Structure 1
């Protein structure tokens, strides 16, 4: 069968590959360079104009998805240029985005009156500009496809109708063209629904009902004109059954009742049912010509509704992203305040030792809190990109729960909360990643503690049935609003978005839990009877009853320092002076001889004279990066056999792989576990031998 083609003979896939034109109008060359560097990632055709007159010449020759227009230009300013652009039929509907350093209310009103879709302040934020332009590029492509599909269908309609009557074919095509234009005029869902009704009534039917579907269930019913019989509970049983069949089978159906009939047309998008449009009229008018016309209109209505839905989804995603970025800034700044205060206290005169100890503990706790936030963000990023891989091993349920509870005990004790653990009598074994599963349970217990008051109880209970273990974490805390419960595992979702949020957090913990559990072949669910009535999170994982003695705990633990003489020479390479100096002080307090270098060439020169036993090397160095330095150090006889550890903020899989290739023995992510680092430095040769079978995360 021949592939579908548009009126111009262009394949749909070929249309998607064609570059879309984006016009940038600004009198400053440096701004064109900036905009091009920001927008090049979109892979489209960027056209630059240095004046309003040059922009008008391009508009006469080319079609643009969006015009980025500077307000202040020497010959014709941006507002005058926009007015002239709107006078051309080809560009009368082209989206215009004004770029300006300042806009007053009067200027804004005039700009929007000329059809501007947005004002972007200068200097622009690259991610914001790129995101907004991407939306207009996609909408332009969708609109082109819609227009070309409409043109193809119009041509088909003309050829079919020509056999019957030429005048009827012209009337039909004109109606479809007008219908397409009317329904695609706005990207608002409400406006698109109203346009759909205006097209359908009275041309196609006396009355129309629109049923919208979410996840297979009808969530909204609208009708025009509205009558009580259109409500789902009062709809005739036969019509309700026909509507259910159409939604289930995704196929058109005509329902009749005496002298009346209803054409029930599914609204499809990408093979998914988004709803159905029901057209009522006298049975005699539902002939083949009317039905065919109704199907065409509904096909175009489906595209218009999907465009509006996608645009709304993009706007919602942008809103949630902005909320998350604001919350991230808030959560990262919070620990900085006590750290800064503690440092100021430590710098005071006559500070007592108890006060110094207290300030040190404050700094340690807040630094740990920031590290956990950053680790969660990195985990979410890896999961979204599909880069998280679990390492299954045999482990017992009892040891997993014990380790998870142990990690959460300080938090519970600080809030004077009681933890109850209820495990089954059977000795259950799991096949999973001990670190990741412990992260899941600790996360759930910490969440329960965070959202529960003092002197409350938290219960961790497990039960076994049908080859699965069911682990529940139940609290007596704040509970969850039923309206928010279906979104509790969504990324960045938080029930409380107010400025006085008492508990903090980024809304990513439960997303991590869900993905990690699913990577183990399990599932997770949340239950709550409402606000103030507590919450229960249930994790279900494959498990089996152990046949013999308990399998030893295989989870990684920090190695204890080996007895023997500690190394005397350590080279620290880090371009951040504060990081290098504090690490040197720490190591010198442990009895090591330490030299520091702030860039690669200095490190190589020092290594030749110092002959280090250990090299702690940052990757992000100026000039020669850490991978190159490591490779060069491995070629020097003075440092060839040194224990080499990458101590860096880069923790993704690619950096770890490059570390191994460059000659590093271990790859540690900042802030490193000090106890683990010291245990490795105690016997570097033993640590190097151990690196053949294990790498440090």
Structure 2
């Protein structure tokens, strides 16, 4: 059969399809002849001038046919053909030998190496062209058939994958819908009916569901049959009359082996997770398991064959979660009801206590006024006539004041508990509060011969609060310290603090507080043990009042003691009053840094005389201290604590000099420097790097990022000022040479 018959029924190769032809010959003139003859084929011609080049080309690509000279220096054509046949890709590539002389031995050897033809030189163009065209067309046909086969395989795989994806999508949609329906209600009865409606008749004509605990503390069983004339499934409840005992027993017997036992389980016993499904004579059984707890089971009578076990098992797992959530929700609801009842009882008891305290305080106030008036009348009538009478009047006056203070404390505690106290806040100096708070206790201290030491800071301690209430806090703490300190003891009040807040410490060397009592010293009516000789009693509300008043001022109070006989101390912490905002926006600075700036440095200079310096450092103390020093040197400074803020400042008010820390959080100094060089107005600024790293590589990175100067922390502020002034002088000299000359 002629070779052309192989191509019957196949379309001619597309013009866009091109095959590669390898021409191997060491003579340039022969290569030119081959190229000229084969140019009409419009294929890709690859030239190799030796056997080695031919082998390299064969490794790179696949050829339709190889034209090879037999006699070549180095590796001849026959050896090259043998090596080509050793590669898997070119094992069957057609090889046509071109030679001036071919004897029978050489021809036999060539054919044994896989040659398909011999052409004697000089070649006949039409013969060579027709023979090469046959192999080119054959190669293109094979490529086309191979591509079609691959396309068919790809189509088949895609169709199979599509079918699997569609099935998976349908399953996912069904399970997602089932999960939503089961999770919509935390009522087990509703969830049971929804689950059975999902199963019947989709998976079986009849299904049975039973739960050990349906959220009501008892077992529940429900059956569902496929609808006949009706459009909705038929449900039947019960276990004896309405429900088939056969179905119920089959479900129970099938699931009973997976119920956890109280004793140790043997290796043969299955755990609830071990059984996913089981087929019985009555149908397919699936357990409902949550964790290691068997909740119940499902029985599908006469399920569709083959059962879709993956979907059924996933549905059973989701149903088990829904039923467990319903059970837990029921238990939680019962617990919430119990807690609410208990909280209501506690709130009622607390309300009655507060009402009683308020009533008691008001009732006790009524007789106090006339008693106090009577004391004053007796004082005026006595007029020093009888020392015993004066002593009695003084004693009565002290006790009336003491009783008045107790009544005030009771009333204040009741008011705070009921939320009826409203603070009259203003800016106060805590030093004045401490001085005024000690005054009411001074007579008690003198009577006990106790030594009082007050340590106040020289600068004002500004807070926002109610002066009367804060004085009450100091008075109660000082009174408490005196009451529990023996005669001749020491009491100390120390006030310290800073810009964030202040701390008042009331310390004594008295009886101390036991470790068991210390956590409860601020509880209402709580008191430490007192001796029989204590004439300064109390109701145990003073410290409670202190704590609640301090909390109303957004502060805290803490009690400390090393134990009985070792004294005690109370620490009151109050937030500092916020500084008044200035009209011109600027970065906040520490008070001590602001105070160190002299008045003349704050005076504004002319714009052309001031050099604006942007200081960028995430350490506020470092940034502010450097800014203050530069301001003292006559520069205008702006502080930024991070990279983004520095870029915003540079864009709003371009600086002439930037002192930039490298180790910034987020956006580091290198990146900030690169971006600064693109900011209009700041691109030509003096950019100084401040860093704790001073190696050569660090300096190189700084230079590449655009820094002009690299300084290692801690940098000498005088050197920084001198550096800026020198740069400023050079800049002015460059702009105004006549000024520099003068």
What TM-score do you get using the length of structure 1 for normalisation? Answer: 0.36
Which of structures 1 and 2 has the larger relative contact order (alpha carbons within 8 angstroms, sep 6+)? 1
